[in-house]
Chain A
Amino acid sequence: MRWGEIIRRLVVIPPTLVGVAVIVFVLLRVVPGDPIAMMIPPGATPTNIEHLRAFYGLDQPILRQFITWFGQALRGDFGRSISVHQSVFELVRARLPATLELALLATLIAVVLGTITALIGIRLRGRRAELLVDGGVGVFLAIPDFLWALILLLLFGVLIPLLPISGRIDPEIDVSLHSNFYLLESLLTGRFDIANALVHHMILPAVALALPFSALVARILKASLADAEDQDYAQIARARGFSRPEILLREVFPNALIPTVALGGVQVTLLLGGTVLVERIFSYEGIGNMAIDAVINRDFPLIQGLILTFAVLFIALNLAVDLLVALLDPRLRHG
C-alpha cells in the first residue's frame, strides 16, 4: 500500500517539475525590468542590443522561448547566465555543494539538539519543568531561521566576536581541492586546517538554520515518545521491572522514531528554503545567496535554473523521507 503511494509520487514528479518551470518562465517574462538594458555598455547601438536580445533568445514569442529552453534543459543545458556570462549548469554545480554541506550540517545539529530536548522533556513529563521545556520549544519554533541568523550574527560576530560572520572560508586560505564539496573532501583527505576554517564559517549559519528545526524535531519526537510510552508494551515492560530510562531507550524510542521521521523529514525542505536568506545574511557562497543576486540582476536563465534546482531538491527530499519511513517501519517492510 505504502509502496503504491511511493510509485504514485514518482509519477507526479515530471508534471510537477514542468509546472514549476512553466510558472517561473511566465512570471519572469512579465517582468517590467529589461535584463538586456542592464548589461549593455554605454554607447551600444540599437543593432548591438537587437543582437544581444537575439543571442539570449529574448526576441522570440514566449511559447517558442519556453519550448527552446525546455528542450535544452532536458539535455542538461540550462542556458547562459546574463549577469555572470557563464553556463547556468556550471554555476549551479559550483555553488550547490556549499549549500548542501550547510544544510546537512544544520540538519545534524538540529537532530542532535532536538533529540536531547525531547528526551529531557519526556523525563520531566508531568512536572512543572515540562511546561518550561514546552514553552522554550514554542519560542524557538516561532522565531524563524533568518531572525536567528541576525541574532547570532549580533551576539557571536559583533558583541562577543567569536566566529567569522561572512563567507565560506577565509580568503587567504588556499583551497586547492578537486570537488566543490570542500568540507567533505577536506575531511576525507585529512586536510583538517581547511576543514577547521570551513566549520568556523559554517557554525553561525548552520545553527541559525538548525534552531527552529530542532524545536520542531523536539516537539514531534516528544509527542511521539509520550504516545509510545502510554502503549501497552511500555506499560508491560515497566511491570516486568525495567527502569524508565531503559524502557525509553529500548522500547519507546525506536517506535517514536517513525512518526518523527515521517513528520519532521518533510520539514527539512523548510530548512533548505531557509538557506536563501541565511546565506545572504552571512555572505555564504551557496545557491541561495546567488538566487537573490540573480533576482536583483534580473538574470532570467539563472533564476530559472536555481528555482528548478530547489524544486528538484524538495521533491527528492520528500521521496527520500517516504522511503526512509517505509524502511524503518517493520509493518511496511513486510507488507
Chain B
Amino acid sequence: MVDLALDSAAGPSSRWTAALRRGGPRLWLGAALVGVLVLVALAAPLIAPHDPLEQDLMSAQLPPAWTSGGDPAYFLGTDSLGRCVLSRLIYSARTAVAVALVAATLAAAIGIVLGLVAGSFGGWIDQLTSRLIDVWMAFPPVLLSIVLAAVIGAGLTSVIAAIVVVDWTRFARVVRAETMVQLKRDYAAAARAIGLGRGGILRLEILPNLVPLVVTLLAVEMGIAILVEVILSFVGISVAGDTPTWGGMIAEGRQIVYQAPWIMALPIACIILSVIGFNLLGDGLRTLLDPVQRR
C-alpha cells in the first residue's frame, strides 16, 4: 500500500524506477539485454565495422584480434570466406529481432482471439478449438516448423509464418483456461448484471485481467521465436542465402569447427544472451504486473 501511495505522488520518471525496483534484478537485467539486442539491430549499419557480405579471401579464418595471428581490423576474426564475423553477428541481430517481434506478436494475437472465443462461448466452438489444439500438440514442434518453412519457401515471411502457425497454441491454451476462470468470478457476473454484452465483458473486463499473463508469455515467445529462426537457418531453410543469420553462421562454423571454433562459439553466445534476456524480462514482468506476487 505504501508502494501505491508513493507511485501516485511521484512523477513519471520515478515511477519507472519504482517499477524497475519492484520487478527486481531480473527485470532490469532482462530489459538491459533485450534493449542492447534491439539497439544493435537498429543501429547495425552504424556500428558494424565492415559490410557483412564483403569477402576478403586473403584474410580468411582469421582468429579474434586479441589472439596471436589476429588482425585488429577484424575484432572477432573472419569466416572461411574472409567475411568479418563481428559485422555478421551484428547484422544477424536484425533478422532475429524482426522475427522475434513480428512472429511473437502475431502468434499472440491469433492465440488470444481463439482462446477468448473458446473460453467464453464454450460448447462446440470450445470443443473444436480444443481438438485443434490437441492435434497441434501431437506434432513435434521443431519438425513442424521445418516442414512449414520448407513448404512456404525461403524468406523472412516464411520463417515468421512457420513460427506463428506452430506457436499460437501456447497463447490459446493459457488464454482459454484463464478466460474460463475469470468468467466465473464475481466481477464478471456484476458486469453481466449491469447489462454488458459478451463482447463488452471480454474487452473491458476479461482482457485487462489477462494482460500480466499475456505480456509474460509474449516475452518468452520472443525468445522462442529467436530460437526457431536459429534452428531454421541452421538447417538451411530460413532467409535467403546471403543474409547473415546466427543459425547460418553456426552451420558454417560446424563445418570448420576444428580449424576455427570461434566462428561457431560466437553466434551461440549471442543467442544465449538474447534468450536469457527475454526469459528474465518475462519473469520480471510477471513479478511486476501480477498483483498477487507484488505483495
Q: Which residues of A contact B (CB under 8 A)?
A: 12, 15-17, 19-20, 23-24, 27-28, 30-33, 138-139, 142-144, 146-147, 150-151, 153-154, 157-159, 269, 272-274, 276-277, 280-281, 288, 291-292, 295-296, 298, 303, 306-307, 310-311, 314-315
Contact = CB atoms under 8 A, between A and B. Distances in A.
B138 A142 contact: no
Nearest to B223: A142
Contact of B139 (A20, A32, A142): A20
Interface stretch (B10-18, B49-57, B141-149): B141-149
Contact of A274 (B142, B146, B261): B142
B140 A17 contact: no
A135 to B, nearest CB: 9
6 contacts: A30-B151, A272-B140, A274-B142, A280-B235, A310-B138, A310-B140
A17 B139 CA distance: 10
A283 B134 CA distance: 31
A296 B264 contact: no
Given A27-B148, A32-B153, A142-B223, A158 B143 contact: no
B257 A17 contact: no
B272 interface: yes
A153 B271 contact: no
A147 B268 contact: yes
Contacts of A281: 254
A27 B151 contact: yes
A310 B143 contact: yes
The listed residue with most B CB atoms (<10 A of its CB), out of A142, A153, A280, A296, is A142
A141 to B, nearest CB: 8
Nearest to B258: A158
A89 B187 CA distance: 56
Given A147-B227, A295-B146, 14 more contacts: A16-B138, A17-B138, A19-B138, A142-B275, A143-B272, A143-B276, A147-B268, A150-B250, A154-B265, A157-B257, A296-B235, A296-B237, A311-B139, A314-B140
Contacts, number: 116
Given A12-B131, A143-B276, A150-B264, A307 B271 contact: no
B279 interface: yes
Contacts of B235: 277, 280, 292, 296
B135 interface: yes
B140 A273 contact: yes
Nearest to B277: A142
A277 B231 contact: yes
B143 A276 contact: yes
Given A16-B131, A274-B142, A142 B276 contact: yes
A146 B231 CA distance: 8
B137 interface: yes
Contact of A158 (B146, B153, B261, B279): B261
B257 A153 contact: yes
A208 to B, nearest CB: 12
A280 to B, nearest CB: 7
Q: Give 3 nearest A-B pairs by CB, closest first.
A: A19-B135, A273-B140, A311-B138
A114 B137 CA distance: 25
A158 B235 CA distance: 21
Contacts of B106: none
B32 interface: no
